[in-house]
Structure 1
Amino acid sequence: MEDPEREVTLMWKKLFRRPTFEGMGDTLRQYFTEDVAYYHELIYVGPKAGIRKYTLFFQFMLFFMNYQDVLIHDVVYDKKENLMAIRMTVRANPWIFLWRTNNMKFLTELEFRDVKDENTGKVLKKIKVQRDYYIRAPGVQLIPIIGEIYDSDQLRYFLVEVTASIHRFLISAYHLLVPAILREAVFKFWRAFLQVPLTEHVVPIHKIVD
C-alpha cells in the first residue's frame, strides 16, 4: 500500500465483500508480508507459518462464515509508528447456522512494514501483524431474540443514560440528606483507611472527626 489510510478500506472490501477463494488469496498476498503474524482470541498464526497458512485460515473461515460485506466505521493511522486501528462490522451468513445473518463487530490492529516493490522500486507498506478483538461476542449475537437485544446500540445507550441518571439522583440525594460535616468525616475516613493500605498511612480516629 502506498497510502494505507485510504487503501485499507478497499483491502477489507476485497476480503469480505462476497470474495472468492482465489481472490482472497491474491488479496492477502498483495497486502500482507510473507511472514505475517495473526493474533485472535481463538487462533494464532505465527510468522514461521507465513502467508500460506494465513491464507488457508482465511479461506477456511470464508467457507465456514460465508462473508457477505464489511462496513468500516473508523480508521486511525499512526504513520510514524506504522500502526493502524480499525473499527469495522463484518456481515456473514454462516451456513452452519442456516445462513442466519451475523454482524460481527471487530477492533483490528495492524502493524506495517516498509517493503520495496521489485517491479516499480517503490517503497510500499505491507501488513506484518494483525490483531483482531471482538467488540461483541458472536456466539451471543447468534442467539435468537437475546442476540438482537445484546447487539442493539440503542439499548446500550438507553441503559447508559438510565444508569447515569440513577447515579446523578443518588449523588443529589446524598448531598441533600447528609450534613456537610458528616460527608467530610466520611471522606476523610475513606482517604485514611480505604484509599491506601492501612500499613502505609494510619490516621487516629479522633483526627478524622476533628
Structure 2
Amino acid sequence: MRVHTRHTPHCGVARILLSPGEAVQANADAMVASSFGVTETPPARGGVRSHGKGLPSVFNAPAEGGWLDLAPAVAGDVYPLEFDGKLGWSVRKGAVLARPSTLRHDQNWAAHGKLFGADNGFLDHYTGVGPLVLSAAGPVDQFTLEPGELVTVRPDYLLAYPDSVQCRLRAVDPSGPQSVATGEGLALDFAGPGTVLVQARNRRLSKA
C-alpha cells in the first residue's frame, strides 16, 4: 500500500494505491471515489458490533490493483504515519483514516492501562509495518524531543506519539471536571527522545 496526498494541509485527500489483491480498512463514509473493480466488505452486523457507529469497511483491490480516495469528515490535513516494525505508536481515537492489514490495533495495551486505569481512554495503540493514514483538524505540526527534553500538550491537540516517548497524564485543575474518554481537564507531559505529532486545530471545537 502506498499513499499520495493532495489539497493538504487544509482540505486533505489521501489516495490509497493498492497492489493486486491488497486490502485496506477505512470508514466507508470517508470514501470519495475508487478505481473500477475495488470492492467493499462492510463491517459485520449483529451482536455487539451492531451497536457501533462508524465501523470501518474493508476495501479490496482486484487482480490488476487499484486505488481509492479518502477524505476526512473534518477539514484539515491527512498524514501518512510510517511504521518501521520497531516502534509502536499511540494515536488519538478517531484520527485513523485508513489502515493496511500489515498494521495491528493493539487492544488493551498495557501502557494505556497504566495511563488511564480501568477506563477507556482517548488513545489507541498500533504496531506493525506500513503507512497508517491519519486525519487532523488543521495542519499537522510536531515536536522533536531530545533525550530528557520535556513538552506539555493538551489532549484535544494530540495526534500521535511513539513508544520511545515517556508520557504522564495529569489534571490541569484537580478540583475541576476531568474525563479520560475525551481528555477534558487533562494535560500530557512528554519526555524524549521521539517526535510528538499534534494537530493545529482543536478537533472537538472544530465540530461545534
More helix by share: 1
Bigger CA radius of gyration: 1
* TM superposition score normalised by structure 2: 0.23
TM-score, normalized by length of structure 1? 0.23
> In proportion to residue count, which structure has more strand?
2
